[in-house]
Amino acid sequence: MILYRTADELFVEHDGNAYRIEATSFDALIAHEDLHGYLQTIIAKSAPTNAFRHARLQAPIGNQEVW
């Protein structure tokens, strides 16, 4: 699984397919108590989207401190 952040949405990529993540922010997403399980649930219950192919990617970071 790979997480992607765009200007408007968050996506998870798995096996060549992208899925929208319903999260308020990247910070909230990565702070999820069981992130891996949460992402697996999204993949299992959601249909892949083509919106990711046209999205402009942003750095995968929110308000975390980076060294």
Q: What is the pLDDT of residues 10-32, one digit of tens each?
A: 999 999 999 999 877 888 888 88
Q: What is the pLDDT of residues 37-56, one digit of tens each?
A: 999 999 999 999 988 788 88
pLDDT at res. 37: 94
Nearest to 15 by CA among 54, 52, 60, 48: 48
pLDDT at res. 66: 66
Predicted TM-score of the model (pTM)? 0.79
- Tokens, residue 12: 């998870």
Q: Are 27 and 63 in contact (CB under 8 A)?
A: yes
Q: Are 43 and 19 in contact (CB under 8 A)?
A: yes
pLDDT at res. 63: 67
State the distance between the two ends of the chain, measured CA to CA, in whole angstroms: 24
